[in-house]
Structure 1
């Protein structure tokens, strides 16, 4: 069995094993986007290590081969794991500069300077980005989410939106995944891939926190919601992984 250095490596191993993105990355852009956009530096480094040990090749090489254009540039920037670590020192000048740069690279010009957006979204710390997004509203008539939708489309749009949503609620990242599960199970055609990916890829400790947030936010336990929206062997497997009601 592979040996890893970090407490949550088993979770990442399960995640990497389950997701088909790791063989034929381009066939599942949604999974690839979530995997790359919702992980911190330590997790991204560990994912790359697991990938290398499992498949004897580099994740970045397969990303380059199976994706293209600005979407590939975004994923490769994230794969570098260069995001700044949070600091107790608030750099107000840098916050101001980044907010203005996002505005000037997008809404305030014809066309989008995508590389400026990629650089800021992939390299700044989460607390810093949260302040940048708030400051951005003083420059732009649109909030960052609406600006993303106006400026980019397709997989790149989804990756920016995932990053934006994740950064904005990272102080409570369990709410992010609880909301994703709720939305997936409440949609007209349940998004089994999303539900499976989140339930299977989150280790027991993290899933317990997601369960608690799910109950607090939606007034019903995750266990009960799974019971209502799934059936058969699939239901039994998810309930078993859920490890009990709340």
Structure 2
């Protein structure tokens, strides 16, 4: 498939996402094309349509497909596709809040817990978004997300995760917060409490001032302080939180550059309509290579073309 194909499709620009609503949207026409593509196993057409519509438009396509064919679109895709491409196109059919709930559930499923994916979502989503994700999580899995986090995590990391899940902005005094964090480092063992309380309950501007003040106070950047004074899962969680306070795009770009396929796919799908342009810019700045080029070095075939369509263009 020609990676430049999407240039012929008029897009509605003006957001920080790479995938925007398709301006000349006709769901009936899309369904007829998809139906024919499924019969012919025409993967190129499936990728072209599903990566070139917004999630809301994909929901309309899925419901229209069911009305017109009395069949489920996801089930139809499963019959024709396989492997990573199947996973990606099915992910694109999931509503955004449900997708984040699913990513959280997958991070806690099985024997080990993927702590960094938990932190990635908890740190990059607002309190309001996390409330919505919690509600959808309960609908999908008949379980309480807070209780699940408690069961799958422990110690200070669990306290941090739960504080982030229930975060609300509380007014604070910058100097007082700096002093509290500094004082927490004075003992032989650093006190996690103030770090959890302060870093999960203030707005970003306030916290950036606190972290800059802490650097002046200690002579070390916050990341170095966390690295030296804390350990284990809590250190990982706190480092992710600090990085997301300072520059969430840079954190996500760094995660993309080191991530295995499911994590990379999760971030790209999750942020495609919100801020993937910002993450792309941060990726170029931190690696010296555009995300578009990096994808071509790592993947191939139809899966690569689908990722490139979501990435949208070279920087």
- What TM-score results when the alignment is normalised by the length of structure 1? 0.79
> Partner residue of 1:123?
201
Task: Report deviation, 1:128.
Answer: 0.6
| 2:261 aligned partner | 192
Instruction: Structure 1: state its 5+ residue gaps.
Output: 2-8, 86-90, 185-189
Alignment of 1:39-50 (within 5 A): 39-50=125-136
Cα deviation per residue 1:144-177 (whole Å; 9 max; x = unaligned)? 11110112112111111111111112xxx43442
Q: 1:77 aligns with which of 163, 175, 185?
A: 163
2:96 aligned residue (1, 7, 11): 11
- 1:171-224 CA distance string (max 9 Å, x none): xx434423432x32xxxxx63243122112224242244335545665543222
Map of 1:6 onto structure 2: none
The question of 1:67 aligning with 2:67 is answered no
Question: Of residues 197, 203, 218 in structure 2, which corresponds to 1:140?
Answer: 218
1:178 equivalent in alignment to 2:257: no
Equivalent residue for 1:36? 122
**Contact in 2 for aligned 1:25/1:63 (Cα 8 Å):** no
What is the distance in 2 between the residues matched to 1:95 and 1:234? 48
Q: How does 1:18-29 map to 2 (within 5 A)?
A: 18-19=103-104, 20-21=106-107, 23-24=109-110, 27-29=113-115
Post-superposition Cα deviations, 1:30-70, rounded to whole Å, max 9, x if no partner, equal 21121112222122112112211211221100001111111
Structure 1 residues 51 and 26 mapped into 2: Cα distance closer, same or farther (>3 Å)? farther
Q: Is residue 13–residue 50 contact of structure 1 (8 Å, CA) maintained in 2? A: yes
Q: Please say if residues 103 and 266 of structure 2, whose CA atoms lie closer than 8 Å, have aligned partners that are also in contact.
A: yes
CA separation of 1:212/1:138 partners in 2, compared to 1, >3 Å: closer, same or farther?
Answer: closer
Q: Which residue of 2 aligns with 1:187?
A: none
Q: Is the 8 A contact 1:11 1:202 kept in 2?
A: no
Q: Report which structure shows greater RCO (CA 8 Å, sep ≥6).
A: 2
- Shift in Å, 1:244: 4.5
Secondary structure at the aligned position of 1:14 is classed as helix
Q: How does 1:205-216 map to 2 (within 5 A)?
A: 205-215=274-284
Partner in structure 2 of residue 161 of structure 1: 239
Instruction: Report how many residues are paired.
Output: 222
Distance in 2 (alpha carbons) for counterparts of 1:95 and 1:25: 41
Bigger shift: 137-146 or 50-59?
A: 137-146
Aligned to 1:99: 178
Larger radius of gyration between Structure 1 and Structure 2: 2
SS of 2:220's equivalent in the other structure is: coil
Structure 1: distance between partners of 2:314 and 2:238: 34
Contact 1:12 1:46 survives alignment (8 Å): yes
Task: Quote the residue 2:230 is aligned against.
Answer: 152
C-alpha offsets along residues 88-110 of structure 1, whole Å, 9 cap, x if unaligned? xxx7xx1111111111101x221
